[in-house]
Amino acid sequence: MDFVNCHLLHWSYEKHAVPAVLEHIHSYYQIELCVNGVIKFNSGKSKLRLHSGEWMLIPPGTPHSMTYEGKDLEYYSLKFAVNNLEQVVDKSLIFQPANKLSAWIISALVDQRPPDQYLYMPINENRVVLETLLLSMLQQALSPIKNHSSTPRLLREIANIVAEEGAMVNAQLVAGRMQMNVAQLKYRYELVAREHFAGAKNQLTLKQFFDRELMKQIDRFLFYSDLALGEISAQTKFNNIYTFSRFVKRLTGQTPTRRRAEKNPAAGASDCNTVS
């Protein structure tokens, strides 16, 4: 029996300003893994974006362009061939959410790259580990269990605005971005939420949905990045770290430091901007 295996062709670790990549296709697989900042993808009519801890599998022959944004942009890019894969893979972007696998992959990649080195990374001395990581990611992305979000488009659009505007978000701002008035936004949200959250104990109000999505964004930074709490507060557009800390405590019952430490003990222990 021939087993599926991945052959790493190239991998890079990049930070800060990165030029946009115009639409193109290639004959190999590619994974873009976001650590900080935002990576925006266009592929035909599909427009997707990655935030901290999220990643994208780009199968061979998939047309795509990419734009990299964020003051503290940080991401990994891995290009690889796949042998003995009998499964037919569509030529479309395959989005993967932030989860425990993401945290494990990011930690493993940090261990495999030389400190303070950017762009092109060595392969041969790291090949066995890196190709094992790639195989795990490939299996996750191509699992028969659908990984694509079933969230309605309206909720996805609101979530993207929250990710961009952070603590500055409100109904008027979101309505303006979506080219409607506040009453229309609330009406459309209630229609979609009633169906999407059907069966839930309590349906989220629009404000509660804003808060939930903002907390998700904060968690991505806490769990998948090594940014200090003050920087996370600034990235998510809070007035100050104390307002940020109170928001996290209200939503989760935990301080940011404790929440980070429980998910990532090493990061929590080393954070120098502790706010109780």
pLDDT for 269 beyond 60:
no
pLDDT for 189 beyond 80:
yes
Domains of the chain: 5-141 (2.60.120.10), 153-270 (1.10.10.60)
The DSSP element (H or E) to which 138 belongs, if any, is helix 127-141
Task: Quote the distance between the C-alpha of residue 17 and its chain's center.
Answer: 18
> 137 to each of 63, 96, 158, how far by Cα in Å?
21, 9, 28
Strands 119-120, 46-50: pairing kind:
unpaired
Higher pLDDT, 240 or 144: 240
The model's pLDDT over 34-43, given as tens digits with 9 standing for 90+, comes to: 999 899 999 9
Residue 240 pLDDT grade (very low, low, confident, very high; cuts 50, 70, 90): very high
pLDDT for 110 beyond 70:
yes
pLDDT for 270 beyond 90:
no
pLDDT for 113 beyond 80:
yes
The model's pLDDT over 164-184, given as tens digits with 9 standing for 90+, comes to: 899 999 999 999 999 999 999
Q: What is the pLDDT of residue 103?
A: 86
pTM, 2 dp: 0.71
Q: Which whole number is the average pLDDT over 41-46?
A: 87
Which one, of 56, 55, 35, 41, lies nearest residue 113 by Cα?
35
